Amino acid sequence: MAELYLVEFKGSRKEYFFNAFYHSLNLLEYVIVEAERGENIGILKQKIDGKVDLSSSDRPRSILRSASKEDIIRVQELREKEKDYKNEVIDLIQQHGLPMKVIDIECQFDWNKLTVYFTADHRVDFRELVKDLAARYKTRIELRQIGVRDEARRIGGYGICGLPQCCNSFLSDFAPISTQHAREQDLPLNPAKISGNCGRLLCCLRYEANLYAACQKKFPPVGSWTRTKTGEGKLERIDIFQEEAIIRDEENNTFRSPVEDILTTSAKEPQGTLAPAATTGTLDNGSLDDEETKEALKKLDDTEDEG
């Protein structure tokens, strides 16, 4: 069977392609591939050695050949022209009075298609705009409405971690995320700290979610009175990476206990002067008051539900 490769196009868009003609290929080099109508150019990012679920997508097309020097010069020229095309499209949109924001313009390598990526709050009737664009550029026009996550992917940038955005480096699909992921990881519920450049919840909130959930199931609930081999007290939090419970005794001293040393638990602690247990996902609101923070968090969850 032909080798399977991952090819990246402008805006971090990625697709799978077969090396059906058994070319000698080098990673990180330009290749010419089959498009829906004609040819396109992209960068060979990865050879796929394992199994990939292709059931949700069309059968991969073929890599036609490695790009020549002339091909690379042509694509560089196209990228420069796309900047002018973007300004021209914006002018036409303003003439039509359409409530849409142009994010990017992408020309297919063989000029058989020009794609306009845009965002809008609602559906837009752009039929007349398409006619004007087709008349001007003499090619097939596609207007594609994208979400704010895809907008951030196409624009690019760096996350609060200082690294390139995940959506620009390795993410192929956006998985659902909610503020519950932040609560489960005991992160400050400050919208500014758990949101990415796109204004949505950080994609990385999902990366360790399963690990946290699996570890927390091994321990009693946070806030329960816990008796261990070394002492007893209220379980304040769980150190996920060490897999230890952090417990505060009646004298307000804390100690650690692995799950195998926990003997019994109860919902209520004996009478004493124990300080309240720490809560998971405490608010860290910065300049916002609690009500504003809660409303902002609710809006983040509502936005995520909309996809």
Residues 63 and 81 in one domain: no
Instruction: Please indicate, yes or no, whether residues 98 and 124 belong to a single structural domain of this protein.
Output: yes
- Considering the domain architecture, whether residues 58 and 77 belong to the same structural domain is answered as no
User: Of the candidates 146, 181, 207, which is a domain's last residue?
Assistant: 146
pLDDT at 182 > cutoff 50: yes
What average pLDDT does range 134-149 have in this prediction? 95
Residue 98 is assigned to a structural domain of this protein: yes
pLDDT band at 270, cuts 50/70/90?
Answer: low
Domain that holds residue 55: 4-67
* 231 found inside a domain: no
Mean pLDDT for the stretch of residues 77-84: 95
End residue of a domain, out of 36, 67, 98:
67
In a domain? residue 141: yes
Q: Are residues 119 and 103 in the same domain?
A: yes
Of the pLDDT bands very low, low, confident and very high (cuts 50, 70, 90), residue 71 is very high
Query: Which residues, in sequence order, are bridge partners of residue 40?
Result: 33
Last residue of a domain, one of 111, 146, 181: 146
In a domain, 198, yes or no: no
Say if 281 falls within a structural domain: no
Q: Is residue 158 part of a domain?
A: no
Are 85 and 134 contained in the same domain? Answer: yes
Range 251-280 average pLDDT: 73
Whether 78 is in a domain gets the answer yes
HEC secondary structure over the chain: CCCEEEEECHHHCEEEEECCCCCCCCCCCEEEEEECCEEEEEEEEEEECCCCCCCCCCCCEEEEEECCHHHHHHHHHHHHHHHHHHHHHHHHHHHHCCCCEEEEEEECCCCCEEEEEEECCCCCCCHHHHHHHHHHHCCEEEEEECCHHHHHHHHCCECCCCCECHHHHCCCCCCCCCHHHHHHCCCCCCHHHHECCCCCECHHHHCCHHHHHHHHCCCCCCCCEEEECCCEEEEEEEECCCCEEEEECCCCCEEEEEHHHEEEEECCCCCCCCCCCCCCCCCCCCCCCHHHHHHHHHHHHHHHHCC
Mean model confidence pLDDT for the chain: 88
Number of compact structural domains in the chain? 2
For residue 277, the model assigns a pLDDT of 45
User: Do residue 101 and residue 133 come from a single domain?
Assistant: yes
Query: What is the CATH classification number for the domain harbouring 140?
Result: 3.30.300
Residue with tokens 């290749």: 31
Residue 232 belongs to some domain of the structure: no
pTM score of the predicted model: 0.75
pLDDT tens for 38-58 read 999 999 999 998 887 777 667
Residues 63 and 84 in one domain: no
Tell me: do 77 and 23 sit in the same domain: no
